[in-house]
């Protein structure tokens, strides 16, 4: 029985990462109906930026918290910029083209990012310096490590910030309006192009933060790491209702939990099979996801 | 016309399959042909070694999928099997042992053989399951291992997953001994696992840098060639040495006589350790050592000598 609690803790931690990445998928789909296949690779790039920063400052013995914040800021800034660049160069020109064109463009960006990382950092594994504390709380047979708590807290902070932004600010409301109906939003005076750009910025920043956190927590990073994480995060985005921001947050944690229970009660080999079976089930029985897609009904 | 060609082709194919089966016995046989692949999985050549091993695995998988070779299924073995079991059972006093693999031919083969050897040594194998390589989170897998309450965990897969397993085991507060097979011999493991790697053991075929008996050889080689020796040179060195010794003794270079004399060598003190030749002409015993992570690097720990695991 106590294994259940341990699996739950593990699952929530993994889920925190997935939720952050899922948000990018869901937001971008919400505003331009594109499944940004390059988003998983943005996560990977963020991780490598953090790696570059940390290996550069590791010798200086600055306080750990400062180094972590620096890595996060650098990662998020770079990926935010990358996201905006991607939008301008690879997606914006194709917004009115057949949907397949923009999808292929996204795949192209994904390949370009992966190969660039491989050329720059090599095909092997890079290791973050071990900065996080190694201890934890022991509650009976269940162990919650300090780093797990840290990761989940940072993820929740970022997600709350996003939620506040989207619900309470004018720009956030503009994003939601844009997701509902692009033309009507334009008619209401919303700067559509600017808002789309902002969506990419925020989504990519979140993925970049998740990438740095992944590096800090798991230590080992590699140029192909974006693929599997991207796929699972995308599953979470669909599960939560693609386009639905709170949905993506909850579904991210849910997929993390499913992964953990599957690994624990069945076998790690069945992880992905089970996650994707869930995805298929959702798409067949409730394609709008568990929280429903945010589309306005045209009456 | 086409029908005739098809008919002829089918007949030829059937004949070919038929005669092949007759010649080699039943294709569905479960006999295994073990192919040893002694490759460097440490040092400068680690990536080459893994490359070689994967090439062998891939060939084995392809051949096995097509029915095997002469009725045998191919099994790729690193030189690791019985030695790990002997070390775990004998030296670590492993009473409850968990074994993990990454589901590839090499890893699974090694795991299966070690489990069999452990069981025959009277050890309780409390966990034996594969994980999926290429992922980053193995906390649930490790929780399952922990549930079985082993005192030793032996992993036969690669260093990439091993590094993660070690780090996450520490995060989960799990305290069993962590031991890796050949394929875990890589410094990336230490970089990934950080402080958690201290005390982790790896069973491996040695490079001269790890053998006390190869000190002189190592110095001479490095001086003469301005590079570190790889894993094969010391065996070649010993090979030449033992043949030269035998020829000097029997005072002839007659090949048959030399071969006979080599079989009669009781014990040769080589740089790769003490050895003789068995009935098949193979070096006996296979050289095997255990290395340990100490102060952020691998150092030699124990080697198998005269039936015991003694300090290397």
Give the CA count within 13 Å in the CB-facing half-sphere of A277: 8
Strand partners, A139: A142
Task: Please tell me the predicted confidence (pLDDT) of residue B41.
Answer: 52
pLDDT by residue (tens digit) across B113-167? 889 888 888 889 999 999 998 889 999 999 999 999 999 999 999 999 999 999 9
CB contact under 8 A, A268 and B138: yes
CB contact under 8 A, A264 and B160: no
Q: How many CB pairs under 8 A join A and B?
A: 96
- The answer to whether A269 faces chain B, any CB pair under 8 Å, is yes
Q: Contacts of residue A257 in chain B, CB cutoff 8 Å? A: none
Contact B158, B46 (CB under 8 A): no
Which among A11, A134, A218 is the nearest to B164, CB-wise?
A218
User: What is chain B's length?
Assistant: 312
Task: Please tell me the predicted confidence (pLDDT) of residue B179.
Answer: 93
- The answer to whether B183 faces chain A, any CB pair under 8 Å, is no
pLDDT by residue (tens digit) across B208-251? 777 778 888 888 888 888 877 776 778 788 888 888 888 888 88
Residue A52 burial (CB count, 10 A): 17
- The answer to whether B167 faces chain A, any CB pair under 8 Å, is yes
Nearest to B274 by CA among B300, B306, B243: B306
- The answer to whether A218 faces chain B, any CB pair under 8 Å, is yes
Distances (CA, A) of A42 to A39, A54, B200: 5, 18, 34
How close is the nearest chain B Cα to the Cα of A183, in Å?
42
Element at A221 (helix H, strand E): strand A220-221
Task: Please tell me which residue of chain B has the smallest CA distance to A8.
Answer: B140
Task: Please tell me which residue of chain A has the smallest CA distance to B146.
Answer: A3
Which residue matches tokens 């034996």?
A: B128
Task: Please tell me the predicted confidence (pLDDT) of residue A3.
Answer: 87
- The answer to whether B47 faces chain A, any CB pair under 8 Å, is yes
Helix (H, G, I), strand (E, B) or coil at A21: helix
How close is the nearest chain A Cα to the Cα of B266, in Å?
45
Helix (H, G, I), strand (E, B) or coil at B176: coil
pLDDT by residue (tens digit) across B262-277? 888 888 888 887 888 8
pLDDT at residue A28 is higher than 90: yes
Strand partners, B96: B124
CB contact under 8 A, A220 and B188: yes
CB contact under 8 A, B140 and A261: yes
Q: Contacts of residue B147 in chain A, CB cutoff 8 Å? A: 3
Q: What is the rounded distance in angstroms from the CA atom of residue B101 to the CA atom of residue A65?
A: 37
Q: Average of pLDDT values for A109-115?
A: 96
Q: What is the rounded distance in angstroms from the CA atom of residue B192 to the CA atom of residue B166?
A: 9
Task: Please tell me the predicted confidence (pLDDT) of residue B17.
Answer: 47
Q: Average of pLDDT values for A113-130?
A: 92
How much is the ipTM here? Answer: 0.87
Nearest to B181 by CA among B206, B158, B152: B158
Q: What is the rounded distance in angstroms from the CA atom of residue A100 to the CA atom of residue A282?
A: 24
Q: Average of pLDDT values for A24-39?
A: 92
Contact B259, B240 (CB under 8 A): no
Which among B47, B172, B196 is the nearest to A143, CB-wise?
B172
pLDDT at residue A298 is higher than 50: no
Q: Average of pLDDT values for A38-54?
A: 96
pLDDT at residue A157 is higher than 90: yes
Q: What is the rounded distance in angstroms from the CA atom of residue B272 to the CA atom of residue A49?
A: 45
Helix (H, G, I), strand (E, B) or coil at A242: coil
Compute the 3-state secondary structure of chain A and give helix, strand, coil in percent, each to the nearest 5. 75, 5, 20
Distances (CA, A) of A108 to A42, A103, A115, B1: 13, 9, 11, 49
Task: Please tell me the predicted confidence (pLDDT) of residue B206.
Answer: 77
How close is the nearest chain A Cα to the Cα of B292, in Å?
20
Q: What is the rounded distance in angstroms from the CA atom of residue B151 to the CA atom of residue B123?
A: 11
Task: Please tell me the predicted confidence (pLDDT) of residue A26.
Answer: 94
Task: Please tell me which residue of chain B has the smallest CA distance to A219.
Answer: B192
């Amino acid at each position: 029985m106590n294994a259940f609690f341990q699996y739950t803790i593990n699952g929530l931690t993994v889920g925190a990462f997935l939720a952050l990445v899922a948000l990018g998928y869901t937001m971008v789909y919400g505003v331009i109906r594109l499944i940004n296949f390059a988003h998983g690779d943005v996560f990977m790039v963020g991780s490598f930026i953090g790696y570059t920063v940390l290996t550069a400052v590791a010798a200086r013995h600055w306080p750990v918290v400062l180094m972590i914040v620096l890595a996060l800021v650098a990662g998020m800034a770079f990926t935010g910029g990358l996201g905006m660049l991607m939008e301008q160069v690879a997606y914006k020109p194709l917004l009115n083209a057949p949907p397949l064109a923009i999808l292929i463009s996204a795949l192209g960006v994904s390949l370009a990012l992966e190969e660039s990382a491989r050329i720059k950092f090599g095909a092997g594994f890079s290791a973050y310096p071990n900065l996080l504390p190694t201890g934890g709380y022991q509650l009976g047979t269940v162990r919650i490590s300090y780093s797990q708590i840290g990761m989940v807290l940072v993820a929740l902070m970022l997600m709350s910030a996003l939620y506040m932004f989207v619900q309470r600010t004018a720009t956030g409301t503009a994003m939601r309006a844009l997701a509902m109906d692009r033309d009507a939003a334009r008619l209401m005076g919303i700067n559509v192009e600017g808002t789309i750009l902002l969506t990419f910025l925020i989504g990519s920043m979140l993925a970049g933060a998740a990438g740095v956190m992944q590096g800090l927590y798991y230590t080992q990073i590699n140029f192909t790491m974006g693929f599997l994480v991207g796929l699972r995060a995308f599953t979470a985005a669909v599960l939560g209702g693609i386009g639905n921001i709170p949905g993506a947050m909850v579904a991210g944690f849910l997929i993390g939990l499913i992964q953990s229970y599957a690994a624990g009660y069945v076998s790690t080999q069945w992880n992905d099979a089970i996650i994707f079976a869930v995805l298929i089930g959702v798409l067949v029985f409730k394609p709008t996801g568990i929280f429903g897609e945010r589309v306005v009904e045209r009456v | 016309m086409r029908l005739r060609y098809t008919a002829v082709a089918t007949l030829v194919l059937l004949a070919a399959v038929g005669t092949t089966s007759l010649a080699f016995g039943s294709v569905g046989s479960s006999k295994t042909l073990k192919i040893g692949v002694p490759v460097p999985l440490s040092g400068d050549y680690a990536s080459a070694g893994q490359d070689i091993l994967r090439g062998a695995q891939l060939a084995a998988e392809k051949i096995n999928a097509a029915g095997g070779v002469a009725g045998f299924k191919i099994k790729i073995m690193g030189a690791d099997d019985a030695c790990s079991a002997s070390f775990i059972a004998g030296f670590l006093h492993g009473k409850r042992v968990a074994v993990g693999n990454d589901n590839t031919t090499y890893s699974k083969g090694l795991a299966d053989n070690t489990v069999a050897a452990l069981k025959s040594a009277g050890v309780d194998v409390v966990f034996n399951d594969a994980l999926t390589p290429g992922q980053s989170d193995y906390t649930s897998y490790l929780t399952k291992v922990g549930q079985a309450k082993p005192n030793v965990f032996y992993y036969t897969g690669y260093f990439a997953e091993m590094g993660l397993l070690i780090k996450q085991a520490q995060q989960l507060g799990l305290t069993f001994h962590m031991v890796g097979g050949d394929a875990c011999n890589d410094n990336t493991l230490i970089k990934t696992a950080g402080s958690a790697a201290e005390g982790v053991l790896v069973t491996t075929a040695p490079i001269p840098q790890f053998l006390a008996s190869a000190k002189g050889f190592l110095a001479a080689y490095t001086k003469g060639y301005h590079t570190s020796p790889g894993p094969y040179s010391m065996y070649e060195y010993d090979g030449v040495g033992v043949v030269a010794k035998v020829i000097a003794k029997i005072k002839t270079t007659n090949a048959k006589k030399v071969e006979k004399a080599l079989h009669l060598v009781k014990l040769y003190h080589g740089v790769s350790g003490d050895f003789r030749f068995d009935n098949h002409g193979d070096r006996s015993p296979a050289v095997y050592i255990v290395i340990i992570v100490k102060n952020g690097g691998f150092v030699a720990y124990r080697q198998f000598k005269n039936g015991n695991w003694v300090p290397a």
